[in-house]
Structure 1
């Protein structure tokens, strides 16, 4: 047996996470001066000026290790959303919290994890890496959630159940009554992980999120991120609101300093900038309505969304499919997200941009559909 043959058996066939294309990548490939990225659900306003100033003031601190466990950021998060500090675990993006939950809660070769299909691919990737069975059931045809089908996947060895709301790539969000019923019907040993990466874009959060009622549900963990609403995707910062006992276990095994000192500073500053959040919400809400109206006029099927993106199907009379449409848009300097990897070959996901970006996208789409 050679050295290469001693890696974990699941590694050779492992498929890595596929991120959206980068602006520089497309600019260089096609020799473009201006590129608009509407593919990765980033904030249409960029990064808050308050955060930028905080980073500039503290840039000389980059040589320091962060304080273990990021207690100042945890306290700021806890105060902002009204939960005990002991329940907050921050990470290098919410991806790290997902990884921690899988490694802490699910026993390799024994337990299983359940989720819908499609779902955020990191759930499946981390389960596979950790040697945990991953079970999925299809969404309904309108992208709503088939709770009965999901529950049929669960048994006495189901460690985790992942639900994303608003969901990606559809933007669909079930009401709290449905989530409450699910939490009560899952096996006793199963932790319901509700990934709320896009919940900040929901106007009536109490109607769609159980976070404010977390004490009623000791079997629920919540995930949130600074990447979307707060414009910090590049800083890699997310957090979980977990049962206190689970937060303690996660902190014991979490890699030290995974949240760097500048990310912590940025997170605290972002939470304080309510003006930026309000303006982001206005731009996203207005842009979502505008894009929905204009895309429908061109024949696209636009699915209802409560997130900062839209799932759309190509017009029935389009002379080409979604993949070719996305490629034509790339050549014009606009990055969109094709959904072939979600088994949705005629669909694409469009991030809500700022007013200029939305207008350029619509004009370009109209031109491509008319003339190829």
Structure 2
């Protein structure tokens, strides 16, 4: 079929975002009764009981529109994170805030956006969709952040610089002080966007976030999501924290009602459940240490992580290990789409899920070793 003549050039050749495999498709493909999904960095404990109750209360109101601008949610976010509510912009996931920042700050055909490679594909997709040049520099060989290389491609027409901290898929992180220093080396009209989707899992978390210091850095915007620590991936909720003037422009151009009534209620409830937040963090940090040690003991090269996942290079071909895990009902994330075909990423699950993953890896690598020895 020939390409449609009325489709914009920026859209030709686009491929959709490829999410992790679903539990249902693997269950059906392999005829399995149980499937463990450790591919999408979701909350290992599921959903807060307070969120469940809030959704039950809110469901009968689903026929109503939410309030424009979600002022109660914005105030709740500001109170929970210690922010100026005027500088908070809620979105349909932090993805929407990424899109809005590019649309508001970057001039098509004139400006550029800068990020590391690999990076979250949405930075690349939305820049391209908006007709904005995307410049990328590789991470260092150990996946640490080479800020000098990043700065080498920044110029007076750089609208946005994206840094994910902790990074995905490596899990590496830098202290917030280094990002603060980076912001001071950017051109006057350049916004440093720090994507802190996984910052709640850094240790200690306070050393890796710029949120409490935003007033000192008017050229910094911080992204946060409710999909990880707060267990709301299916409801799509996130926010950006930035200068009140920039947040005002995002609110002006945001599509009306993009944050739905259920997501708003769930987000408010999730922030109130300190016990669930603490249990999630404890589970992830315990799992991260245990699974990393187990993988290293099996001959895998494990990248140091401050996130709720681990990137590793197995001693066998990554594609072979990935398929062998699928056959045992365990979904992890292959990283070929990140340009890393020899590596896999595993989300930290519950203690039981982590143990099942480690047992499967022992079986897979043990069988390969026995076959090699024969």
TM-score, length basis structure 2 = 0.96
Q: Does 1:369 align with 2:365?
A: yes
State the Cα distance separating 1:177 from its structure 2 match: 2.4
Residue in 1 that maps onto 2:297: 297
State the Cα distance separating 1:3 from its structure 2 match: 9.2
What secondary structure sits across from 1:4 in the alignment?
Answer: coil
What secondary structure sits across from 1:101 in the alignment?
Answer: helix
Q: CA RMSD in A?
A: 1.1
CA deviations on 1:8-63 (whole Å, 9 max, x unpaired) are 11212112211111111111111111000000000000011110111112210111
Residue in 2 that maps onto 1:53: 53
What secondary structure sits across from 1:252 in the alignment?
Answer: helix
Equivalent pairs counted in the alignment come to 367
CA deviations on 1:121-156 (whole Å, 9 max, x unpaired) are 000000000000000000001111111110011111
1:175-254 to structure 2, matched below 5 A, reads 175-254=175-254
CA deviations on 1:213-252 (whole Å, 9 max, x unpaired) are 1111010000000000000000000000021111111111
State the Cα distance separating 1:175 from its structure 2 match: 1.3
Residue in 2 that maps onto 1:343: 339
Residue in 2 that maps onto 1:356: 352
In structure 1, how many angstroms separate the alpha carbons of the residues matched to 2:253 and 2:269? Answer: 27
| Structure 2 residues not aligned, in runs of 5+ | 369-374
| Structure 1 residues not aligned, in runs of 5+ | none
In structure 2, how many angstroms separate the alpha carbons of the residues matched to 1:241 and 1:10? Answer: 29
1:78-89 to structure 2, matched below 5 A, reads 78-89=78-89
In structure 1, how many angstroms separate the alpha carbons of the residues matched to 2:125 and 2:16? Answer: 8
Residue in 2 that maps onto 1:68: 68
CA deviations on 1:159-199 (whole Å, 9 max, x unpaired) are 00000000001111111221111100011110000000001
TM-score, length basis structure 1 = 0.97
Worse overlay, 261-270 or 62-71: 62-71
1:1-372 to structure 2, matched below 5 A, reads 4-315=4-315, 318=316, 321-372=317-368
Residue in 1 that maps onto 2:371: none
State the Cα distance separating 1:112 from its structure 2 match: 0.1
What secondary structure sits across from 1:349 in the alignment?
Answer: strand
What secondary structure sits across from 1:77 in the alignment?
Answer: helix
What secondary structure sits across from 1:104 in the alignment?
Answer: helix
What secondary structure sits across from 1:163 in the alignment?
Answer: strand
Q: Given that residues 47 and 232 in structure 2 are in contact (C-alpha distance below 8 angstroms), is that contact kept between their aligned partners in structure 1?
A: yes
What secondary structure sits across from 2:194 in the alignment?
Answer: strand
Q: Given that residues 58 and 261 in structure 2 are in contact (C-alpha distance below 8 angstroms), is that contact kept between their aligned partners in structure 1?
A: no
In structure 1, how many angstroms separate the alpha carbons of the residues matched to 2:278 and 2:23? Answer: 26
